Amino acid sequence: MFDVVRLVHLSAADGSDAERLMTELRAAAAGAARRVLVQPTLPGVRNGGDVLVHLRFDEAADWSGCAPRVDAVLADPLVTHVDGAEYDGGVGGVAEPRSPGSVYRVLLLRVAPGTTHATIDRFEADLLRMPGYIPTIRSWQLSRVIRGIGSVPWTHVWEQEFTDLDGLNGPYLMHPIHWAHVDRWFDPECPDMIVRDRVCHSFCVNEPTTRH
């Protein structure tokens, strides 16, 4: 599989403008992607944009075929900024559950340059350990970025489907495995910190228009 995420920031506009843009994005990927998720972000995102786009393809060539159409839509004057990543899910996870969650969440992050491979391996292992402790996660995938765009050169994409919004804001963000173990990689007061730049924490209702 090959995945694409775009976090789209919009200028002030009424709902009809945003809905038009989302309709055009869905149409641009239809027929090429096996999964097309284009939804407004929910309250509480951090650098997460106004519209979340997640596209899944059978292979990278399928994305190459429709990328110009997606890029043309994102050139709309309504769009003020886009963060995004392209990746193939090569680190680990369970990307497609039999019963999907109702909320899709994605985190874009950058590991500091010069971080050793051994440290990165431990960091990735800690992230992938989380679903074993948090039952509200229905699927998850950790990937190294092949190509990133936006605010910083992203290195990783950490994504999940959750049972519901409470399952993200409660059992995930407040779980001891998160704040007492994983957060050390992000905490500027901890010597283990390796994520020094801004992160993009974005989520939306998980209602793809294409899934098979």
User: In sequence order, which residues have a C-beta less than 8 Å from that of residue 108 and are 6 or more positions away?
Assistant: 5, 7, 83, 84, 85, 148, 150, 154, 156, 157, 199, 200, 202
Tally of domains within the chain: 1
User: In sequence order, which residues have a C-beta less than 8 Å from that of residue 47 and are 6 or more positions away?
Assistant: 7, 83, 151, 198, 199, 200, 201, 202
Q: What is the CATH number of the domain that holds 192?
A: 3.30.70.100
Taking residue 84's Cβ as centre, other Cβ atoms within 10 Å add up to 23
Exposure on the CB side of residue 168, measured as CA atoms within 13 A = 26
pLDDT band at 212 (very low <50, low <70, confident <90, very high): very low
pLDDT band at 15 (very low <50, low <70, confident <90, very high): confident
pTM of the model: 0.93
One-letter amino acid identity for 84? G
Instruction: Give pLDDT tens digits for 42-63.
Output: 999 999 999 999 999 999 999 9
Expressed as residue numbers, the domain containing 144 is 2-211
Q: What integer pLDDT is reported at residue 125 of this predicted model? A: 93
Q: What integer pLDDT is reported at residue 197 of this predicted model? A: 84
Q: How far apart are CA 90 and CA 17, in angstroms?
A: 36
- Among 21-25, 34-38, 195-199, the least confident range: 195-199
Q: What integer pLDDT is reported at residue 95 of this predicted model? A: 64
pLDDT band at 92 (very low <50, low <70, confident <90, very high): confident
Can you read off the two tokens belonging to residue 160? 């999940």
